[in-house]
Amino acid sequence: MATAIDVDIPVVRDAETQGEGYPYNWSREEMQTIQDHKQYHLDMHDYLEDLEYYGPSVMKPKKPKNNLSETTKTKERLYGDQLHVYLKDNCKTIDDTVIPQIPVASRM
């Protein structure tokens, strides 16, 4: 019985984020953007608490300069030959292991 592969959650990890426990393969720059925005929202929460208590004299935190919407933009889905080329170019191998091509699958 064949096992289905979920292509929405990549298993191969970037060497930069290897072993950090994230199911999605974020680059260092993308992770930094996410972390910056997480911190900004925590700071905004504290700001709103302080604003409520102390009034308008509280300083508002600065918004991160990096663009979260660019990081979260949905990437084009790859199918067929485009997916095959992408996987060949981006999958890491051990000891130059060759991934065999299946002629039947490449004609679909």
Instruction: Name the pTM for this structure.
Output: 0.51
DSSP 8-state code for residue 89: H
Could you identify the residue written with the tokens 């700001």? 47
Q: What is the pLDDT of residues 21-78, one digit of tens each?
A: 667 778 888 899 999 999 999 999 999 999 999 999 999 999 999 888 887 776 677 7
Write the DSSP string, 59-105: PPPPPPSS-HHHHSPPPPP--HHHHHHHHHHH---STTPPPPP-HHH
Taking the C-alpha atoms of residue 25 and residue 60, their distance in angstroms, rounded to an integer, is 33
Domain count, the chain: 1
Q: Is residue 89 in some structural domain?
A: no
Domain assignment present for 82? no
Q: Is residue 99 part of a domain?
A: no
81-106 per-position pLDDT tens digit: 888 887 777 776 666 666 666 666 55
* 41 in a structural domain: yes
**Which pLDDT score is estimated for 1?**
44
Residue 42 structural domain: 28-76
Q: And the tokens for 73?
A: 């933009």
Tell me which of 78 and 12 has the higher pLDDT: 78
- Is 60 inside any structural domain? yes
Residue of 2 and 32 predicted with greater confidence: 32
In a domain, 45, yes or no: yes
